[in-house]
Amino acid sequence: MRIVVVTESFLPTLNGVTTSVCRAVECLSASGHEVSVLCPGPAPVTHRGVPVHQVPSVAVRAFPMGVPTRAVRALLRATSPDVVHVASPFVLGARALSVARQLDIPSVAVYQTDMPSYLAQHGPGVVGVQAAGAAWRWIRRVHELADLTLAPSTPTLAELASHGIGRTARWGRGVDTALFDPSRRERAAGARAELAPDGEVLVGYVGRIAPEKELGRLAAVAGVPGTRLVITGDGPSRSRVATRLAEAVAGMPGRPNRPPVFLGQRSGEALADAYGLLDVFVHPGTRETFGQTLQEAAASGLPVVAPARGGPVDLVAHGVTGWLFDPDDPADLARHVTRLVADAPTRERMGRAGRLAVEGRTWAAVVGELVGHYEHVVAAHRIAVERAA
């Protein structure tokens, strides 16, 4: 198939959208499909042999937002794709879906970023609520242009339905089980000993350090005796989060834990090594449509503690691969972490179960499902054309 992937985010910007687009493009190309990418610049001119086309961008909170120029129509006309795949459409993606509709090209939109919740959180009071409402109206308008909208989790599908967005299906994400592997914990024994010289249980978070990740919840975790927090990632809230977590440790009764460690942003082998340092993985945010880091942690053989809300509901088997905490109970996250800290056999059992649960979720398998969705919309489009003739 000829496929044009239009994405709101691409390299060198690192986030969940970029990661899923890169893996999908790589697997599609490796399977013999003819793939092109359209994204905000600056970006590489190719990715693993796949041509990358750019549109100008403007910075919005340090994020490059693509400007929907005539390049969108020009690329779709020049390539005449069988299907247009639009990742996390908002501005550039909205234009691509509109042009695809005008040119009578089947399209698939991937809903991945919970922009309404982000706007509600960052806007003061009523302003945030109104901004979220406006965002949902725009999202509904955009996704009505797509032949099919793919969402990564069952809670997200339900949320889309509650806002009047139809023609949906679930499409999850893959995980590199060769890169993220439990053996890294054994190879990291020396580094683990340096971080936990008194045998502390290393509790970690991986991801963006920003308000929407709700890292303030980790203050309670920082005070669990016999632990040390290890944070991998970067973002606009790093300084504030570091201060708050350090204060939480310093304010502990009795002998305080060692101060939290911030490893900075990592990718590839260095990221996989960061998981290898941990004993327990914690994700505090309630606004995830999926939760890729939870899969990476499970593949690394770690028990996962995450909120019983959003994408984690599909990824964590409560009591089997980890715990789902009640985000409305301020003490519940620390309560579950405390249970794992005190019970090494349970940590090991959950880690093994988590690894087993993700072993079949390779990117090749997941992209195979994606191609099935492509084929569905292309066939439906062909039937519609034949009936109209």
Rounded mean pLDDT of 2-25?
95
Range 284-293 average pLDDT: 95
332 and 189 in a common domain: yes
pLDDT of 122: 66
Statement: the pTM of the whole predicted model exceeds 0.85: yes
Q: Please give the Cα distance from 185 to 187 (Å, whole number).
A: 5
Examine the pLDDT at 385 and tell me if it is beyond 90: no
- The pLDDT value given to residue 173: 96
- Whether residues 122 and 67 fall in one domain: yes
Number of domains in the chain: 2
What pLDDT digit, counting tens, does each position of 234-249 carry? 999 999 999 999 999 9
pLDDT over 90 (residue 93)? yes
- Note down the domain range covering 63: 2-174+362-388
pLDDT digits (tens, 9 = 90+) for 210-236: 999 999 999 999 999 999 999 999 999
My answer on whether 158 and 191 are in the same domain is no
Alpha-carbon distance of 109 to 90, in angstroms, equals: 10
Q: Is there a single domain that holds both residue 334 and residue 369?
A: no
Does residue 204 sit in the same domain as residue 149? no
Do 208 and 300 share a structural domain? yes
**310 and 384: one domain?**
no
pLDDT at 79 over 80: yes
Residues 202 and 152 in one domain: no
- Domain co-membership, 336 together with 372: no
CATH code for the domain in which residue 65 is found: 3.40.50.2000
How much is the pLDDT for 130? Answer: 87
Q: Based on the domain organization, do 384 and 310 belong to the same domain?
A: no
pLDDT band at 388; cut points 50, 70, 90: confident
336 & 198 share domain:
yes
